[in-house]
Amino acid sequence: MNTPIRRLSVFTMALFAVLMLNLTWIQGFRADALIEDPLNTRQYSEHLSRPRGPIEIAGESVAFSENVAEESGSPLYQRQYTGGEMYTPVTGVLSVYSTTGIESAENSLLDGTDDRLAVRNFRDIITGREPEGARVGLTLDPEVQEAGFDGFRDGGFQGAAVALDPNTGAILGAVSAPSYDANDVASVTDRDTAVNNFVELEQDPDQPLLNRAFNELYPPGSTFKVVTAAAAIESLGATPESTIDAPDLLDFANGPVLPNATPGGTCNGGQPDTLAHSIQISCNTSMANWAMEMGGQALSDQASAFGFNPPEGEELQVPLSVEPSLAPVETDDSILGRAGIGQSNVQATPLQMAMVAAGVANGGEIMRPYLVDSVLDSDMSVVTETQPETFSQAVSASTAEDLTDMMVLVTTAPEGSGTGGAISGTEVAGKTGTAETGGDQATHNWFIGFAPADDPEIAVAVVIEHGGGSGGTLAAPIARAMMEAVVLE
């Protein structure tokens, strides 16, 4: 064999070796990832040939499969969604174009391929019974969800609301507006229309596909003052009656002056103000001074205790992924002062701010938020059942009590900033927020709170995007309606 032929043979054998290694890698090590890839249309087609388990809320199916094939044809299961736009941000959608929400996070249980269903699947093979996916039961309270959804729809608002049971961490409501009807993108008989509808939603500048409750970051504005007050008490030994300078304008060595945000242009006539009164009327300058007094590390550490700044790899999942909220350590006084009032580099999801309210409500202990209450096999046997667990001890019980007393003044005192969140006959603890968004855009408007203040059953966070008003007039009424759905039952 001459040299050129020998070289060609060696080269060809090397190519075959590389090809075999590549096939081994794909089929042996990448198989599961490729099967689960949302762009794998074969995976989607396989979903259509077998019944998928329902997603349930309060025992009612809000997503279920229905055989739409002709009697003589092979099974063709269409996913049906109830509730219109109200539940879609949570349930997500199973479609040829994308699988999202609970449909994605609990896919292996819903389609019956999860290892925890192996015994049932084997039994079905033996008995000849048609296999089915498991039932995934969610924690959402239909009345709480509807109250929040109606508030955004009726007001024509964009934004989000989250409600938690502070005693367990169960997510009682998760509203994102605008939303969309999952049925519009889930058709198996008219896939072209479904895909076109999905592309239209993707290109919509209002981002209806975005789950704002868990995945959008906002400056929390003055709702973050609860965190700052907690840090002042925990790290500086402050009390509700402790005072600090509250000038009408706060000057910094670097950066623009900071005005207070109260009517009349003053917090306490320019005199030092108590921590309790500063929370009650939402004074900017005094809370900025508290932040600078404690320092950036103490403020950031306190925020982390509430759930901000999660370590890499420890980001919260409910089981939907949650965008990490951020409150980094600041050293420049101008930036730190503004961080103390929820501006600057502080960013939070509505879920995070609901966790702040829930932590105060639960004596300083934050319970880990969760959306899936239980998973039942097709024979109604329990596959999994979520047990409440502690997420963190954000503050001491005594600090939580002080914060609660101050937050009650927000909704009950005549000059409180959050009287719009008050419930007749029930004491509500709350905090408003008006967050600047930069440029000429209108402010975001917030309200966080919990009720009843002395025995909390629900904690909420509501944000209105670019409302341009105040948290007490725009966000608080929606929060009140969501709380009333629980406390006035």
Tell me the CA distances in angstroms from 430 to 121, 354, 382, one per residue in order.
Answer: 50, 11, 38
The β-bridge relationship of strands 243-244 and 273-274 is: antiparallel
Phi, psi of 383 (to 5 degrees): -90, -50
Choose the catalytic residue: 65, 222, 282, 344: 222
Are the CB atoms for 281 and 415 separated by under 8 Å?
A: yes
For 23, other C-beta atoms within 10 Å of its C-beta total: 10
- Side chain identity at residue 230, one-letter code: A
Which two structure tokens, joined as six digits, stand for 88? Answer: 């879609």
Give the list of residues 6+ apart from residue 143 with CB closer than 8 angstroms, or none: 485, 486, 489
Residue 49 annotated to the active site: no
Which two structure tokens, joined as six digits, stand for 54? Answer: 């329902």
State how far the Cα of 90 lies from the Cα of 97, in Å rounded to an integer.
18
Torsion from C-alpha of 145, 151, 157, 161, nearest 10 degrees: -40
Q: What is the CA radius of gyration of the chain?
A: 26
Give the list of residues 6+ apart from residue 485 with CB closer than 8 angstroms, or none: 141, 143, 144, 146, 147
Picking from 102, 113, 121, the residue whose alpha carbon sits closest to that of residue 46 is: 113
As a whole number of Å, the end-to-end CA separation of the chain is: 91
State the catalytic residues: 222
